Amino acid sequence: MTAELRPDVAVWRDKKRYLWLIGLVPPTMLLLILPIIWGMNQVGWQAVSPALLWVGPFLVYILLPALDLKFGPDGQNPPDEVMERLERDKYYRYCTYAYLPFQYASVIVGAYLFTASDLSWLGYPGGLSWPAKVGLALSIGVLGAVGMNAAHEMGHKKEALERWLSKLTLAQSCYGHFYIEHNRGHHVRVATPEDPASSRFGETFWEFLPRSVVGGLRSAVRLEAQRARRRGRSPWNPQTYPGNDVLNAWLMSVVLWGALIAVFGPALIPLVVIQALYAWTTFETVNYLEHYGLLRQKIATGRYERCAPEHSWNSDHLVTNLFLYHLQRHSDHHANPTRRYQTLRSLDGSPNLPSGYASMITLAYFPPLWRKVMDRRVLAHYGGDIARANVQPRLREKLLATYGAAQ
């Protein structure tokens, strides 16, 4: 029987097709709350309304985990027969393209609110208080962090337009080198001790954060320098800037924030710093939980085995899937990096996190809680053999002694 005649394929439809528009909540949340703030101020709630400017952290740490708990796992995988048609459907890529204009509209509005000295139209007699400014900057950081995920989706594609849109999306967070390091560094070295973006068993998030940020930056610069030299060019020659994807990505950040500082003044600089640092931290938390303790074994040739579903932590919780364009289906992503998000599947054989990414982000900030939840899962994944895990070097002997004695 042909695929067209199979009843289950003939009636299959993507139940999340229009729900993918939920991914536009982060870049529009600031625009959506302004009328609410105005209304609250009209009835005399000026003391309370600035709390709404903390909408970004509220979304990440409270709302998304609660919704994941309520709606649970996704559970829908597209069958093989619809994959090609689903890949070709341009509606899905337009959902990611739409992130960019809303992102930049929110950044501009945020820059204005952060620096304005008279917000009487909004119901404030002067400018925002510093607690309100910090909340605003963190919310801008959240849309930058989620934007890094949208950039991740577009940056894996072959079309030149999507690759440039990826770098433009990363410009806000000043993390343009991620475009190079992730595609040509992380995907090659994933789940090995050589990968700065693969966290190790026993490594706290606070140890991982500087290692991943600095290591990823160094790797991106090195990779682009090697590419330039293979083409017979100096990586630092200004004539090579258009072709150096690290330098031109950083230049986009300089142009963006330079223009906004020229318009709104040096008072904008604290927002630039706060939002960038918070976006880096939030995004690197996701990196931390995606491969914690997982290790590709070396084969007889001395090379690492091919990346398989067992080398990524998965989560299939519905709501965070929608917000992060199936990033949680991470095993399929590493097996098929150019596959579009709508066709990613939850694979058998991949270890699963106990909850969605949003819940696990908060847990990662508290190392004792993280290790209580995750260490036993890593051990179970390797049948109690800690020697098969990617272990933090400074803890290797202690852990081998501890868990070896427990066998």
Nearest to 357 by CA among 336, 331, 389, 329: 329
Q: Report the pLDDT value the prediction gives residue 49, as an integer from 0 to 100.
A: 96
**In this predicted structure, what is the pLDDT of residue 5?**
41
- Domain-by-domain residue ranges, the chain? 7-405
Distance between CA atoms of residues 262 and 268, nearest Å:
9
pLDDT at 1: 35
Give the model's pLDDT for residue 403.
Answer: 76
CB 135 within 8 A of CB 54: yes
Structure-block tokens of residue 239 = 């004539």
pLDDT at 400: 81
- CA dist 292 and 357 (Å) reads 13
Q: Tokens for 61, please give them.
A: 């740490």
- What is the structure's pLDDT at 241? 52
Three-state SS across 247-305? Answer: HHHHHHHHHHHHHHHHHHCHHHHHHHHHHHHHHHHHHHHHHHHHCCCCCCCECCCCCEC
Element (H, E) at 136: helix 130-155
Look at residue 36 in the predicted model and tell me its pLDDT: 97
For residue 201, list its beta bridge partners. Answer: 391
Closest CA to 364 of 192, 152, 199, 143: 199
Give me the average pLDDT of each 10-residue run along the chain (407 residues).
Answer: 48 89 95 96 94 97 95 89 92 95 97 96 94 98 95 89 93 93 93 96 97 95 86 66 79 96 98 97 96 94 91 93 93 89 87 92 96 95 92 88 62
- pLDDT of 3 reads 41
